[in-house]
Structure 1
Amino acid sequence: MSLPYVILTILKDNDSTGYDVTKKLSGTIGLFWSASHQQVYRELNKMLKMSWVNSSFFPQQGKPDKKIYSLTEMGVAELTKWVESPIKEQVMRDELSLKIYAAQKINNQNIKKQLHQDLKKRQQELILLRKKGEQSSSLKPLDELYIKRNLYVLEADIKWIKQAILIL
């Protein structure tokens, strides 16, 4: 999955500014994808050149004009093509596993401290996500599905970190 398809998906709902796109990444989409403000604007500029999106300016009183991005037919076609293409195998890039591996290579015992900190952080995230999931009556079915997936991942990570602490 790549950022252009996230942006195309967001723009499929509503025309938006780059700032609005970034804000939407902190909502439901933020459960499975993140990007910085700079990354979003860089991709929007590329997508303009590829004609996947259009932009128009709306004047504002006492502020710079607001640039609004909208999805083009070509953008919809590209999004459709991507959705219908086979799912690529996910490449695992796990900084935590790499740090444990590297710490063992250089005989660094501080990794346990980091594991305890990371465990605490993930346990707090799990509590917050469970609270969000308890609001399931007000959630859309797909939002509930994304929350469940993240709960499964967090629970597995917590279990794995506890095992790593015991082994180290």
Structure 2
Amino acid sequence: MSLKHSLLVMLAEHPASGYDLSQHFKGSVGFFWNASHQQIYQQLKALSEAGWVRFSTETQADKPDKKIYELTAEGRQAMTQWLREPAEVNKYKDALLIKVYGGAHIEAEVLQAEIQRHQQLHQKGLAKLKAIEEEYLGLNRDQQKAMRLPYLTLKYGISAEENWLQWANQCLEAINDNT
């Protein structure tokens, strides 16, 4: 998967500025796909040059003009073509997993502290996801129906965080058994 496809999918929902897209990456989409502000703007420029998005300029008082991007017919076609393609299975590259794997070579307290640090981060992430879920559950039936597929990605994120926290507890128990 590439950033360009993520942007196309988001722009298919509604036109947005680069800033709006960046905020979207910091929120819901950011839980499973990350992109920096700079990467987003570089990709928007490339998508515009490819003819997959176009933009209109909005004048702002006391700020630079804002570009509002929207999909073109070619962009929508590229997005739907990509959505129909098989997705690669995700491979993990997680430094903490290597640290746990090699944890017998360091003091147990060091590994415990690192796992506990990650636990705090995952607990915060889970709390954010649960808050988003509460917003979804507060929507009326029609709104929920319109958001059912993004909700499934949210449910996956919640489940993944809960499973990760369960795994971390198992790690800490195993480390404590060996000390």
Q: Same fold (TM over 0.5)?
A: yes
* Structure 2: unaligned runs, 5 residues or longer: none
Question: How far does residue 137 in structure 1 lie from its aligned partner after superposition?
Answer: 4.0
The corresponding residue for 1:89 is 89
The corresponding residue for 2:156 is 149
Q: 8 Å contact 1:31–1:146 — kept in the other structure? A: no
The corresponding residue for 1:46 is 46
What do the CA deviations read for 1:56-94 (whole angstroms, capped 9, x no partner)? Answer: 323333432222222111111110110001121212112
The separation in 1 between residues aligned to 2:3 and 2:68, in whole angstroms, is 18
The corresponding residue for 2:21 is 21
Q: 8 Å contact 1:123–1:158 — kept in the other structure? A: yes
The separation in 1 between residues aligned to 2:54 and 2:20, in whole angstroms, is 15
The corresponding residue for 1:57 is 57
The corresponding residue for 1:161 is 168
Mapping of residues 92-107 of structure 1, within 5 Å: 92-105=92-105, 107=106
The separation in 1 between residues aligned to 2:114 and 2:6, in whole angstroms, is 32
The separation in 1 between residues aligned to 2:172 and 2:44, in whole angstroms, is 43
The corresponding residue for 2:4 is 4
Q: 1:108 to 1:75 in 2, by over 3 A?
A: farther
The separation in 1 between residues aligned to 2:78 and 2:24, in whole angstroms, is 21
Deviates more, 1:108-117 or 1:137-146: 137-146
- In the alignment of these two chains, the number of paired residues is 167
Question: SS of the counterpart of 2:164?
Answer: helix
Matched AA of 2:59: P
Q: 1:21 to 1:120 in 2, by over 3 A?
A: closer
TM-score by length of 1: 0.84
The corresponding residue for 1:117 is 117
The separation in 1 between residues aligned to 2:134 and 2:164, in whole angstroms, is 21
Question: How far does residue 102 in structure 1 lie from its aligned partner after superposition?
Answer: 4.8
Identity across the alignment (%): 30
Question: SS of the counterpart of 1:99?
Answer: helix
The separation in 1 between residues aligned to 2:94 and 2:101, in whole angstroms, is 11
The separation in 1 between residues aligned to 2:53 and 2:104, in whole angstroms, is 48
Question: How far does residue 37 in structure 1 lie from its aligned partner after superposition?
Answer: 0.8
TM-score by length of 2: 0.79
The separation in 1 between residues aligned to 2:81 and 2:55, in whole angstroms, is 22
